[in-house]
Amino acid sequence: MTEPLRLGIAGLGTVGVGVVRIVQKQADLLAARTGRPIVITAVSARSKGKNRDVALSDYAWEDDPVALAKRKDIDVFVELIGGDTGPAKDAVEAALKAGKDVVTANKALLAHHGQALAETAEAADRVIRFEAAVAGGIPVIKALTEGLAANEITRVMGVMNGSCNYILTRMQSAGLSYEAVFDEANQLGYLEADPELDVGGIDAAHKLAILSSIAFGTQVDFDAVELEGIGAVTIEDIHQAADMGYRIKLLGVAQMTGRGLEQRMSPCLVPDTSPLGQLEGGTNMVVIEGDAVGQIVLRGAGAGEGPTASAVMGDVMDIARGLRLPTFGQPASSLRAARAARAAVSAPYYLRMQLLDKPGALAKVAQTLGEAGISIDRMRQYGHQDTSAPVLIVTHKTTRTALDEALDAMADTRVVIGAPVAIRIEEV
């Protein structure tokens, strides 16, 4: 019989336990589909005595994940600890140097250290697989590195954080404020221990940086992602965007332009009839556009025990089959450092502002936009509130640079109360 593929699993939280369950429950299926048995040799976690509702007594226990990574009786180190520093990073580096392949769900680790880890893996003739790090159960990494490998990718975009999508769709369906739905999501356990990772867009930006590297053959550059969370989105924005045929999504977009690589994670308006506009709850969606294939849409569960463990095991099974690819789809030495471009591609924008209720106020706003080269597509004015009135404007396509120039100049008009809200409208 072919020798079994032996796993060492570091991290026995929701995903780690899910992986153990799949290996135990689907042993025959895994062997039939890979041609060899897949077994767990040893595990590691912070607490050995914790009840995890899964049998672990047959596996060796290591308190230290680095010691687990170095064990001679494992072939693949499965890192499910999380975090871009500390034990996760130390253990992955140790595993590679000890001649082990690595499967991880750790998006932060790859977003911050992906290039160095890829170089380490290739120097040791090892592989790093990480399907579970991006969009949970959606096989987007495999799509980019295998199924679409013959395409020049022109754009990657998507909703990559289910918690944010839950908050935004719940605000719309229930008519609740951001603060109320945030508290609800927190109580339901939908948010990270540090909620800013979710609502600040950081978690989703990690994923976008990884996808950009694969799609465009560049070194991972998380610091180049333009980042804005959903904390400033109000129920008024939700309702007024819907009134004009749009939905608000925390949308990641990456595209190569003449100025360089544009990567942004920010609230955007999308048509409510588009696949992204119709995406509800905690579901993720990734849209990929290639020169040969056109546009494809991948949709599915972006988190949770089953979907993420499924992605982990898909990577394990590829290793068992002997499939060995460079970490980001091509040799690390060929990945170039991309020049960062800030919102270089023109787009229409949604503007919401509060104007003083006085003659000529709206004309001053239109003049200010016009002087920046921005024309108005649609405009609506809502009911007066004491001495002011909310105004909604949708512009024709413009650059963010021109828009920022206009927004800065509006302070001098003395008719705009507070800072206007500006949200890009993405054509999908």
pLDDT tens sequence across 246-260: 999 999 999 998 889
Task: For residue 226, give Cα distances in angstroms to 146, 206, 344.
Answer: 28, 12, 12
Residue 362 DSSP code: H
Contact of 6 with 76, CB cutoff 8 Å: yes
Per-residue model confidence as pLDDT tens digits over 105-132: 999 999 999 999 999 999 999 999 999 9
* DSSP secondary structure, 54-122, as one string: S--TTSEEESSHHHHHH-TT-SEEEE-S--SSTHHHHHHHHHHHTT-EEEE--HHHHHHHHHHHHHHHH
**List 207, 358, 364, 397, catalytic entry:** 207
The CB density around residue 72, as the number of other CB atoms within 10 Å, is 10
What integer pLDDT is reported at residue 419 of this predicted model?
Answer: 87
Phi, psi of 183 (to 5 degrees): -60, -40
- The arithmetic mean of pLDDT across residues 74-95, rounded, is 97
Residue 415 carries which side chain, given as an amino acid letter?
V
What integer pLDDT is reported at residue 344 of this predicted model?
Answer: 65
Tell me the whole-structure pTM to 2 decimals.
Answer: 0.92
Active site residue 207: yes
User: For residue 210, is pLDDT > 90?
Assistant: yes
Per-residue model confidence as pLDDT tens digits over 138-170: 999 999 999 999 999 999 999 999 999 999 999
Give the pairing of strands 128-129 and 153-159: unpaired
Residues 289, 426: Cα–Cα separation, whole Å: 14
